[in-house]
Amino acid sequence: MSSTSFRPRLPGAVLAALSVGLLAAACGGSGGGAAAPGGPNAGVQVALSDGGCRPTPETVAAGPVTFTVTNSGTAKVTEAELQSNGRILGEKENITEGLNGDFSLRLDAGSYTVYCPGAAQDTWTFTVTGAAAPPTAPADTSLTKATQQYHDYVVSEVAALVPATKEFDDAVRAGDIPKAKSLYAPARTHYESIEPVAESFGNLDPDIDARINDVADPTKWTGFHRIEKALWADNSLAGMTPIANKLDADVATLQKNVATATYQPAQLANGASDLLDEVSTSKVTGEEDRYSHTDLWDFAANIAGARKAFELLQPALTAKDPQLAQQLEARFTDVTSGLAKYQQGNGYVDYSTVPPDQRRQLADAVNALAEPLSQVAGKVV
C-alpha cells in the first residue's frame, strides 16, 4: 500500500482514462544509459533530495521515456511519481538512500507533473512535445485476451471483497471482537491481491488500507488497519462503527471503479512488480499487520495476485522469451513453497512466531523472483 495518503490526488482516477501506454515495468535496480531527448527511448534522471526532484531533462519528445529515480542522501523523500491532471501514470516508491529504480512509459505530447512527497518543492513541470510514431509490431491477440481476463479477475476479487468486508464490519458494529478478529485477515486477502489497481483511484487505497504512520492526521485514520488496532491493541470496538461504515462505503466505491477499468499488458506486469515490492518492504518486516500479526495472509495474497498477472501474460512471454518465462515459473514455485510451511488450517501462523532468519529466507525468495519479473513489461508491450 502507498505510504502517502495525504498527497493530493484526483479521486476516482480510472486506469482506462490514461492517455499513455506503459512500455516497461517499474523495477528496482540501476537504470540503463539515458537516451537524448527525442531519441528512440528518451532518458530522464529524477534525483530525490530534501529540496525536490527536478527532472533532467525537463522536456522530451513524445514516445518511450525511461525515468531513473535516484536517492543519494535524503531520508525525507523516497518516492517520485509522474502525474497528469492528478492521475498517477508511473511511480517508483521506497527509493531510500543509496537506492535507485526505473519506470518507463509511452507518453503523448502535453504537460505533466513530477511529484515527490515530502520535498521542500514537491512538484515539477515535465513537458512532452511532438507526436510519437505508432508501434509497428502487429497486435498480439494473447495480450488482448490477457488484459480482458485480468479485468475479470479484478472484478471477481472485488466482488468477493464486498461481502467479506461487510461481514467483518457487521461484527465490528455488533461489538463482537472474537468474530471480527477471525474475519479480518480473510477479508483482506481479496484486497491485497489487487492492491495496485486500488492505488490508481486517488485516495481510495489510503482510506481503505493506510497504517497509522501513513496518515498526516491520526484523527482521520480510517480503514482496515484502524480497526485492526482497535481489535488487537485496544481490545475495544468503541467508536468503530463510523469507521466500519466508511470502510463498507469505500469498498463499494472500489467495486464501482473496477467495473469500467481497462488495462494494458505492461500494467499487468507493473502491478505484479508492485505486489512483490509490497511483500519485500512491508510484509516481510511485519509492519503491515503490526497488531494482528496476520502478515503472512497478506504476503500470500500479494504473491497470488502477482502470479495471476504473470500467468495471463505467460503465453505471450513464452513466445518472446521462453527462458524468462521458465525462470519465473520456477521462482514463483519457490516462493509459494516457502510460504506453504507456514500454513495453519485455512490460513497462516502468527507472523510474530517466524524467526528473523526464516523471514530473511522468505525475503530472499521474493527478491530472486522480483528481478526477472521486472523484465516482463518490456517483453509484452
Residue spans per domain, the chain: 15-129, 141-380
Confidence of residue 33 (pLDDT cuts 50, 70, 90): very low
pLDDT of 269: 87
* Cα 203 to Cα 7: distance, rounded to the nearest angstrom: 8
14: pLDDT strictly greater than 80: no
pLDDT of 94: 83
Q: What is the mean pLDDT of residues 84-105?
A: 80
The answer to whether 376 and 25 have CB atoms below 8 angstroms apart is yes
Q: What letter represents residue 73's amino acid?
A: G
Q: How many CB atoms lie within 10 A of CB 138?
A: 6
* Cα 226 to Cα 78: distance, rounded to the nearest angstrom: 24
Question: What's the angle, vertex CA 339, arms to CA 334 and CA 340, rounded to 5?
Answer: 100
132: pLDDT strictly greater than 70: no
pLDDT of 27: 35
Average of per-residue pLDDT values in the chain: 86
Question: Which tens digit of pLDDT belongs to each residue from 300-321?
Answer: 999 999 999 999 999 999 999 9
Confidence of residue 133 (pLDDT cuts 50, 70, 90): low
Question: Which tens digit of pLDDT belongs to each residue from 193-230?
Answer: 999 898 888 789 999 999 999 898 999 999 999 999 99
Question: Which tens digit of pLDDT belongs to each residue from 48-75?
Answer: 999 999 999 999 999 878 889 999 899 9
Confidence of residue 150 (pLDDT cuts 50, 70, 90): very high
pLDDT of 138: 56
Find all residues with CB under 8 Å of 31, minimum gap 6, and list them.
Answer: 43, 66, 68, 100, 101, 102
Q: 45-49, 97-101, 167-171: which range is least confident on average? A: 97-101
pTM, full prediction: 0.81
Q: Tell me which CATH homologous superfamily contains domain 15-129.
A: Cupredoxins -  blue copper proteins (2.60.40.420)
Q: What is the mean pLDDT of residues 92-117?
A: 87
pLDDT of 100: 86
What phi, psi does 19 have (nearest 5°)?
-100, 15
pLDDT of 211: 94
Provide, rounded to the nearest whole percent, the portion of the chain with pLDDT above 90.
Answer: 65
Q: What is the mean pLDDT of residues 257-280?
A: 86
372: pLDDT strictly greater than 80: yes
Residue range 141-380 forms a domain whose CATH class is mainly alpha
pLDDT of 10: 37
The full 3-state SS of the chain, as one line of letters, equals: CCCCCCCCCCCCCCHHHCCCEEEEEEEECCCCCCECCCCCCEEEEEEECCCCCCEECCEEECEEEEEEEEECCCCCCCCEEEEECCEEEEEECCCCCCCEEEEEEEECCEEEEEECCCCCCCEEEEEEECCCCCCCCCCCHHHHHHHHHHHHHHHHHHHHHHHHHHHHHHHHHCCCHHHHHHHHHHHHHHHHCCHHHHCCCCCHHHHHHCCHHHCCCHHHCCCHHHHHHHHHHHCCCCCCHHHHHHHHHHHHHHHHHHHHCCCCHHHHHHHHHHHHHHHHHHHCCCCCCCCCCCHHHHHHHHHHHHHHHHHHHHHHHHHHCHHHHHHHHHHHHHHHHHHHCCEECCEECCHHHCCHHHHHHHHHHHHHHHHHHCCHHHHHC
The answer to whether 275 and 305 have CB atoms below 8 angstroms apart is yes
pLDDT of 42: 81
Q: What is the mean pLDDT of residues 287-299?
A: 96
243: pLDDT strictly greater than 80: yes
pLDDT of 135: 57
Confidence of residue 35 (pLDDT cuts 50, 70, 90): very low
In angstroms and rounded to an integer, the radius of gyration of the C-alpha atoms of the chain is 20
The answer to whether 162 and 152 have CB atoms below 8 angstroms apart is no
Q: 255-264, 284-293, 306-315: which range is least confident on average? A: 255-264
